[in-house]
Copies of this chain bind each other. A is one copy, B any other.
């Protein structure tokens, strides 16, 4: 149960010996090799081909996945790039990871793939043990139950529904539904369909289904033209100054301002559309890598508890080790576990953790046809083993320190275009002066062999895999310096 182990944070080489990770990816390239600009001619051909039946405009490039290796992604034009974007932070442990290949080739994986079960009705006999060997190995402290979905948006919407159901269940004191509730809900009317809301924060990203999109406020391109639950309250997320330790007093005041707003919003909604839950990311990712202090989250939980509002911690992007602990919220030392912790991306499987107390009052309430994908849970099981075996959380901490130190050094040079270096583990970002320069740097990095993306308005984010080691960090810093020098 490594989720709660204390990690050493010294600068010694305490992570799994490079020899062992080296054995896992013996043929990983040592550096990028570029043959063309990106996108190259082969990608352009494939884009044209795709265009007649699917939108290719978001395409970065087409990939030769069978040639990718460890931290390196290879495009169809033969360009070999160091990947610090990692499928929007969703690749956990290296391209063509041999232990994952082994896991998905097992007869059990094949069986689950071709006989896809309704897990809520007809799971395979291996299901309980599989959950024990995967989800329960990394369950957040205090949360013994897991609800499984298929994407991050559905994980969050599942948690919303769980929170709504539990809120009403407590309100009716555990009594059964009334006939009036059962009839009115069929046509979306009260009392069966209650007026309840989810509180979210400005700058947040929680997904793109209609409920979660109502809680997403990071970029207009995600939201424009789509109706929302427009009465759900939105609080300010603290706008902190970096480095955090330098601006402690100002940051504390800013966090207190936001917390006060949360309190007031909840009180203000009490009669019209009570807040059943608040959802928050440990670090606002898509919104620009916005951090808050552990005490902010501790005090947020205190306010929510006072009003009987559930806390949903959205660890879709922060979960599974990227911040140096398995769950980012472990670093807050909350006095009580969050009510729901949602996950997706690197976890391969998606869903949320909760307690036995917040299980729905009846079966089929928080339910759907597939209730997850058992093959993704087989992958999770292997990932969890690898994180332990190769001490990947230690790798993240050491590589993260090298990145942070290197970026601070670049930032501190006179006239440096980069600012606001911030991060936990390898979950790191810095700012460029403008959006145009952010975009220019990302394209320059790609043409120099580094695949990365931006976030927020002018931030460049680093989201490497858990097998991103110190020498990868050095290679990234080397290329970044060259790109900045050439700008």
Binding site for B on A (CB under 8 A): 42, 46, 49-50, 52-55, 57-66, 68, 73, 76, 87-88, 90-91, 95-97, 100-101, 104-105, 107, 110-118, 120-125, 127-129, 131-132, 135-136, 144-147, 149-154, 157, 160-161, 164-165, 167-169, 177, 181-183, 185-189, 192-197, 202, 207-212, 214, 217, 219-230, 232, 234, 344-345, 348, 359-360, 362-365, 367-370, 373, 375, 379
Contact = CB atoms under 8 A, between A and B. Distances in A.
Contacts of A145: 53-55
B154 A154 contact: yes
B88 A114 contact: no
Nearest to A217: B186
**Copies of chain A in the complex:** 2
A91 B120 contact: no
A414 B328 CA distance: 68
A362 B90 CA distance: 24
A345 B369 contact: yes
A151 B351 CA distance: 14
B223 A151 contact: no
Contacts of A360: 55
A251 B232 CA distance: 43
A270 B125 CA distance: 53
Given A88-B118, A90-B118, 18 more contacts: A53-B145, A54-B145, A58-B363, A58-B364, A59-B122, A60-B121, A63-B122, A65-B112, A76-B125, A87-B122, A90-B370, A113-B379, A151-B151, A153-B154, A161-B226, A168-B225, A210-B211, A375-B375
Given A50-B131, A135-B53, A202-B186, A151 B368 contact: yes
13 contacts: A46-B127, A50-B131, A53-B131, A57-B363, A58-B367, A62-B123, A65-B115, A90-B116, A151-B154, A157-B210, A161-B226, A165-B224, A167-B225
B208 A210 contact: no
Q: Which 6 residue pairs spanning A and B have beta carbons closest together? A: A210-B211, A57-B363, A168-B225, A188-B228, A58-B363, A182-B220
Contacts of A101: 110, 114
A195 B227 contact: yes
A169 B225 contact: yes
Contacts of A125: 42, 46, 62-64, 76
